[in-house]
Structure 1
Amino acid sequence: MTDAGRIVPMDGGHNFRDIGGYPAANGRHVARGLVFRSGTMSELSDRDHAILDSLGLKVICDLRSTSERSRRPSRLPEAAQYEIWSRDHLMSAGDLTEAMRRPDATPETVRGMMIDAYRTLAYEQAPSYRELFLRIARGPLPLVFHCAAGKDRTGVATALLLDLLGVERAQIFADYALTDDFFARGCQLVASDPVDDRLAQVDPAIWEPMMRADPAYLAAMFVALEVRHGTVEAFIRDEFGLDDEDIAAIRDRLLV
């Protein structure tokens, strides 16, 4: 499966793609058409709705904060039969946004802040990730999970899932890097936020590192987890509370 083949082209969708097709453990592959990742779904067109129907989508897991969902609610068909899951929580990047507004902020300092943020992101989002992984293990599929840009919260969740399935790290990093194909669109979404315009007066060069799929970000996440837990699977067991049955179910369902 080529990178181009996994991207689902949409009019108003953002960074919507299939995580299947990657080689995994023991000569198997991640199944296609069962789990998708995405950015915001607030500007979906009627044609995009038809695409979701053609995918047979059953569940949408929205990883965004309460305020993000309020500012940019997902545009879904009124008669949609999807199960939509979300969790009420505060936006985690507020301090980062304020830091980028400081006079002494530079692209280098913002990149450093992103690296620091990735060291704790998986822990911060553990309640959401637990629900996502349990739905993959036990619930109806196909499923899509998404945040705003589809890079940070979504990217970490994807990396954890692919690692659990035995996908090689190089491939996981390559999947993460695909978000850079949507860089310009992601920047436009940030600049046009209908409510939160705190970055409107900031030089885009300052905050653009926040929008990049920099491999150093994901590497920081993996190092932080493995220093503390040894392996990604151990982190998932420790922090998500998944047991042998749940982990076996995820692998059985997603590996072919």
Structure 2
Amino acid sequence: MTDAPAELLRLASADNFRDVAGDGHGHPTRDGGNVRRGVYFRSNELQLTHEDAESLAGLGITHIHDLRGQMEVDAHPDVAVPGATWHHVEVTGIPTEMVSGLADAAAAERVMREVYDAFVRSPQARESYRRLLTDLATEPLPQLFHCTAGKDRTGWAAVLLLEIAGVERETIVADYLLTNEVSSATRAKYLALIGEHLGADKVAVYEPTMVVEESFLQAAYDAVDELYGSIDGYLRDGLGLDDETIGALRARLVG
């Protein structure tokens, strides 16, 4: 781990890999501190070249938490990272049956908001995020978590860590939206495949499922407010995290 500013590691084979803390000195917190760099990393699926796997090993990553479903894991198993233990902590992503018959972009956006709403309402999702955050609080550092695109399931996990660290909501949203910038090449590749196999008219229909939008994240925040009153209530009552676990995460993030 390091508190010193350093150039962010970029992976050629995982373009949405990044430090949860952001760049420079790390995202500022409300109490005048900064989120510590080199503690938690996030990514899209780890279809890594040998060189990129060695780069992650060089960071000293001890645990990799895979949030994908079993079918996703079976189709594209993670490349092993030397020194890291792999954990499967499944969170339901975008259901195939919900996107296979999309009529237009507005329908795709509705599906995405439903996915984020389910991150909060689904008992299975809450249990998985409880397990993830507990491991992030207790297992040796640094650690990495990821899903397929590294934007939705992974994005919500990163949001929760930054909330625990005391980062302003505006900064959290900006960090969440950064996916659209850093993974533009991957998105372009998949949209090209959609155009090739489903027709050019389907590209605009499916594009909302391949980006992040503030309204998607807001759907999760709205569910938190409705069911638990606040992020703190969601962490404690929704995920069942105790003071010790939340405090350990905060200490790791800003200690």
TM-score after normalising by structure 1:
0.86
Q: CA deviation at 1:174?
A: 0.5
2:45 to 31, 34, 40: 40
Q: Give the Cα–Cα distance (whole angstroms) in 2 for the partners of residues 83 and 190 of structure 1.
A: 33
Instruction: Say whether residues 1:72 and 2:76 are aligned partners.
Output: yes
- Relative to structure 1, the CA distance from residue 85 to residue 187 in structure 2 (aligned partners, 3 Å threshold; closer, same or farther) is farther
2:27 to 22, 27, 51: 22
Q: Give the Cα–Cα distance (whole angstroms) in 2 for the partners of residues 233 and 6 of structure 1.
A: 33
Q: Give the Cα–Cα distance (whole angstroms) in 1 for the partners of residues 76 and 169 of structure 2.
A: 33
Q: Give the Cα–Cα distance (whole angstroms) in 2 for the partners of residues 17 and 53 of structure 1.
A: 15
Number of equivalences: 240
Q: Give the Cα–Cα distance (whole angstroms) in 2 for the partners of residues 12 and 155 of structure 1.
A: 19
Q: Give the Cα–Cα distance (whole angstroms) in 1 for the partners of residues 91 and 164 of structure 2.
A: 26
On the 8 A contact 2:66/2:88 being kept in 1, the answer is yes
Letter in 2 for 1:176: Y
| Secondary structure at the counterpart of residue 178 of structure 2 | helix
Letter in 1 for 2:72: E
Question: Which consecutive residues of structure 1, in runs of 5 or more, have no partner in the other structure?
Answer: none
Q: Percent identity?
A: 34
Q: CA deviation at 1:83?
A: 1.4
Q: CA deviation at 1:227?
A: 1.6
Q: Give the Cα–Cα distance (whole angstroms) in 1 for the partners of residues 211 and 90 of structure 2.
A: 26
RMSD of aligned residue pairs (Cα, Å): 2.1
| Secondary structure at the counterpart of residue 108 of structure 2 | helix
Structure 1, 183-192 or 110-119: larger mean CA deviation:
183-192
Letter in 2 for 1:164: I
Q: Give the Cα–Cα distance (whole angstroms) in 1 for the partners of residues 120 and 41 of structure 2.
A: 19
Corresponding residue for 1:119? 117
Q: How do 1:11-160 and structure 2 match up within 5 A?
A: 11-20=12-21, 21-42=26-47, 44-77=48-81, 80-87=82-89, 92-100=94-102, 105-124=103-122, 125-160=125-160
Letter in 2 for 1:47: E
- Relative to structure 1, the CA distance from residue 222 to residue 14 in structure 2 (aligned partners, 3 Å threshold; closer, same or farther) is same
- Relative to structure 1, the CA distance from residue 247 to residue 6 in structure 2 (aligned partners, 3 Å threshold; closer, same or farther) is farther
Q: Give the Cα–Cα distance (whole angstroms) in 1 for the partners of residues 146 and 153 of structure 2.
A: 8
- Relative to structure 1, the CA distance from residue 191 to residue 148 in structure 2 (aligned partners, 3 Å threshold; closer, same or farther) is farther
Q: Give the Cα–Cα distance (whole angstroms) in 2 for the partners of residues 146 and 31 of structure 1.
A: 19
On the 8 A contact 2:57/2:84 being kept in 1, the answer is no
Letter in 2 for 1:201: L
TM-score after normalising by structure 2:
0.87
